Amino acid sequence: MRLNKQLHEFFMNHTKQMSEEWYKTIDKQKSTGVYVTDNPDSINRLKEQNHEFYVHMANLFLEERDTLCDNFTKWIHKIANDNAHIETPIHHVIREFLRVRDQYFSYINRFAEEMDEDIEQHRIDQWKDQIQAVFDHVVLQFVEGTHNASLKQLKAQQEMINELSSPVISISTDTALLPLVGDIDTARAKVILENTLQQCTEKGVDQLFIDLSGVVIIDTMVAHEIFQLIDALSLIGVKATLSGIRPEIAVTAVQLGIPMDRISIESTLSNSIAKNVGSLSRRK
């Protein structure tokens, strides 16, 4: 226990030095991302994060393994969710973890050499095994945390893409356009349905033009979702007019047994808008 306390004190006295040594020896030719930035604030942030790591590691020789890992987890999650580290190739981050691990092995040998008493090799090996076990835990937790953070970021980006890919564009105070472009799968069709209903309600839309001329491929399930959207719009008081229906979509609608006579359909978007504007003018 006495030696462990001395080793803890030794590492605490060298945390700043070890952190600076680590940063100065980063191979900028082989690294990218957070390790090669020229921004002073980013560099200071990286050094602070690294110094926090050294402080946690010093506690290895005083705290129980479970307690140390629990405390370390907070630091790991912070780094795993740090944008600069997320944008850095993960193998570069792991390489730096391994370099720091080797640095610790070197400092263990240095501690043993500087002590006034002889320290048995099995005790040195025991300390190194402890360090190795903690680094294994940290690397595994970091990879898992980075993976989860990336999935979360990807999901948020996909949700934004889905929302932007089904915009309800206001034409007048109560008239709007929903232009659909590209391939639509079942998942995107459901998002379109939800977003369209919400946006029409928020914008106070009474008449919605849905243009399908930009949709290249559509299957039976997606066609079903689109016609369900029209029914759902009707339930909230929005009249929908379809335009740009391709022949294959028309065939699918017939196969589904959808009663086309109750759906407003125009060949082109321009015709659809022109007829609606003309109808409004006559009512006025």
pLDDT per residue as tens digits for the range 219-267 = 777 778 888 888 899 999 999 998 888 777 777 777 777 666 667 888 8
Angle at 136 between CA 25 and CA 113, to 5 degrees: 55
Kindly state the average pLDDT of the residues 144-160. 79
- Give the pLDDT score at 245: 81
* pTM of the model as a whole: 0.60
pLDDT: which is higher, 56 or 283: 56
Share of the chain above pLDDT 90, in %: 34
CATH 1.10.490.10 in the chain: give the residue spans: 2-161
**Of the CATH numbers 2.40.37.10, 3.30.1320.10, 3.40.640.10, 1.10.490.10, which one belongs to the domain with range 2-161?**
1.10.490.10
Kindly state the average pLDDT of the residues 72-86. 86
CATH 3.30.750.24 in the chain: give the residue spans: 169-283
Q: Yes or no: is domain 169-283 CATH 3.30.750.24?
A: yes
User: Which of 269-273's residues contact partners 24+ apart within 8 Å by CB, and which partners?
Assistant: 269/177, 269/179, 269/209, 269/211, 269/213, 269/243, 269/244, 271/243, 272/209, 272/211, 272/241, 272/243, 273/171, 273/177, 273/209
Using alpha carbons, select from 110, 159, 158, 105 the residue that is nearest to residue 134.
105
pLDDT band at 22 (very low <50, low <70, confident <90, very high): very high
Local structure of 257: helix, strand or coil: coil
